[in-house]
Amino acid sequence: MGTIECIQSGARARVVIQNGRQHNCLNRVMWRQLEEVALRLADDNRIKVVALRGAGRQFSTGYDLADLDGLDLDEAQAGLDQMERALIAIESIPVPVIAVIRGSALGGGLALALACDLRVADDTVRLGMPVAGLGIAISESFAHRLVQAFGLGKTNQLLFLGEPIRSTEALAMGAIQRVTDRAGLDGVVEAWEEQIIAMPKKSLQATKRVLSGMGRESTTEAPEILGQWALNTIQDRFPSHS
């Protein structure tokens, strides 16, 4: 079924998406667990840095569409709202959050990586938003995260063509801050954690508050995100609900 694991040690917290059989996609329960973990970390005065990763060789392939099986529109709405609340909760942690990306970050998994403040990836990573091939239109909040990270042109490539972006290309664009081989990934994360932990927490919090105010206005409140996203998905996949 999958779960969200949180390991705390001193000033650091490490959050792990555990659903290896499904490429670390997240169902409704896991999105709720992720929100709860993020809210708890936000209130923990000991924490100065959070690292978010997927278990094994994948970061996350996003929302588990199989989780929509048998749902009516209201239930699907609730599930998608839960995903958005989890993303907002990650963004709202008042200290830096590092996305540690292996393998792929696709769909909601990419949105989750973009909700973090810093991103480090191995040199084989693919970042993608394969919504066109699934008959899905993204929400405004998803679009905002994509455009802010990649710019409008590359966002068009991701959405209209379904073409993924390699980690090295994302590095050149500033969407990822460091690319390394798989063996070096944990070393980069540990070095970043130590650098951040050495800083005064009030300074970290003040800086994050300023940056959040500049760049994340449209994601501070959950929008109505069912819209075409769920209507297309449910009507195409589950005709009995249309």
Q: Per-residue pLDDT tens for 34-90?
A: 999 999 999 999 999 999 999 999 999 998 888 877 777 777 778 788 999 999 999
Q: Which of 94, 80, 70, 72 is nearest to 26 (CA)?
A: 80
CA-based Rg of the chain, rounded to a whole angstrom? Answer: 17
Could you tell me what percentage of the chain is helix, strand and coil, using 3-state DSSP and rounding each to the nearest 5? 55, 20, 30
Total of domains in the chain: 1
Name 156's bridge partners: none
Q: Is 122 part of a structural domain of the chain?
A: yes
How many residues comprise the chain? 242
Q: Is 191 part of a structural domain of the chain?
A: no
* Token pair listed for 163: 């073409």
pLDDT in the model for residue 135: 63
* Token pair listed for 141: 């909040």
Neighbours of 206 (CB within 10 A): 12
92 confidence band (pLDDT: 50, 70, 90): very high
d(CA 176, CA 171): 5
pLDDT in the model for residue 215: 59
DSSP assignment string, 113-156: HHTSSEEEEETT-EEE-TTGGGT----HHHHHHHHHHHHHHHHH
Neighbours of 124 (CB within 10 A): 15
Q: Is 98 part of a structural domain of the chain?
A: yes
Residue with tokens 């973090």: 116
Q: Is 196 part of a structural domain of the chain?
A: no
CATH number, domain at 114? 3.90.226.10
Residue 98 has phi, psi (to 5 degrees) of: -105, 125
Spatial CB neighbours of 133, under 8 Å, sequence gap ≥ 6: 162
Is 4:16 a contact under the CB 8 Å cutoff?
Answer: yes
Is 238:85 a contact under the CB 8 Å cutoff?
Answer: no
More confident of the two residues 122 and 218: 122
pLDDT in the model for residue 190: 98
Q: Is 149 part of a structural domain of the chain?
A: yes
Q: Which of 87, 1, 84 is nearest to 52 (CA)?
A: 87
230 confidence band (pLDDT: 50, 70, 90): very low
Q: Is 193 part of a structural domain of the chain?
A: no
How much is the average pLDDT of 178-203?
96
Is 113:67 a contact under the CB 8 Å cutoff?
Answer: no
Q: What is the residue type of 117?
A: D
Q: Is 195 part of a structural domain of the chain?
A: no
- For residue 220, pLDDT over 70 is answered with no
d(CA 14, CA 46): 13
Residue 118: domain span: 3-184+201-241
Helices (H), 157-239: 167-173, 185-197, 201-215, 227-237
- For residue 8, pLDDT over 90 is answered with yes
Element (H, E) at 32: helix 28-42
Q: Is 115 part of a structural domain of the chain?
A: yes
- For residue 226, pLDDT over 50 is answered with no
